[in-house]
Each structure stands twice: as structure tokens, then as C-alpha cells.
Amino acid sequence: KYTKFSIFYYWINSLGQKISICSRSEKVDIPSGKENKTATISYDHRIMPLENTSSTGTYYCEVKWNDIQKMGKGVFVLARGTGYIETSYGWEILVTLTALLAVLSITATALLLWKRK
């Protein structure tokens, strides 16, 4: 009963529309001695490349048996036109800290020389 099933891949866009990506039917043979036991089979599906920024949405996988239907939790994909640019403030912090220490050092030296006079 559960050896034949269908897998459906789809996504829901920002307008809430369900858009089918692909589907396929599967038939899994059960080895002797493994009847009436739970089995897990992984199926990978890659969506590449994303066409444009309108490809943003939540992507789902759904499996249907004769009388049972199971849906995954979904994966949200954010498609950006320019790609991901990691912001790094390391150099800015280093330069700011160095400048601040230099100003404090010069000020302390000036105060010490002024106190001597």
C-alpha cells in the first residue's frame, strides 16, 4: 500500500500563490523481512539557478500516498539581485581605536610637559 507514492515540489511566492516546480512518482521495493517496519528515504532536489529576485518565497516538498498526505515545514529562500555582501567593521574599529589611543597619548604627553613647567 505504501510502496507507491508521489513527490511534489512547489513554492509559495510573496503574493501567496502556489507555484508547482516539479513532481515525480516513486515505487519502492520492500526487502524481505522488512515488512511492517518504518523506513526513511531521503530525496534531494536542487533549484538552480534562481531566475531573479521574484524567486523569493517558501519552498515545500509534499508526499502523497493513496489516502495520506504529508508536507514538509518549508524552506524560505531570499533571492537578491546583488548577492550577499558580508559587512565587516574590523578595519574601521581598528583605525578608530588607534586614532583614539594616539589622541589620548598626545594629550597625556602634553599635560605632563605642561605640569613640569
Give the range among 59-63, 82-86, 98-102 with minimum mean pLDDT: 82-86
67 and 91 share a domain? no
Sequence length of the chain is 117
59 and 92 share a domain? no
Is 73 a domain residue? yes
Q: How many domains does the chain have?
A: 2
Cα separation, 102 vs 93, whole angstroms: 14
Q: What's the pTM?
A: 0.56
Q: What is the predicted pLDDT for the residue at 49?
A: 64
Task: Identify how many contiguous H helices and E strands the chain contains and give both numbers.
Answer: 1, 5
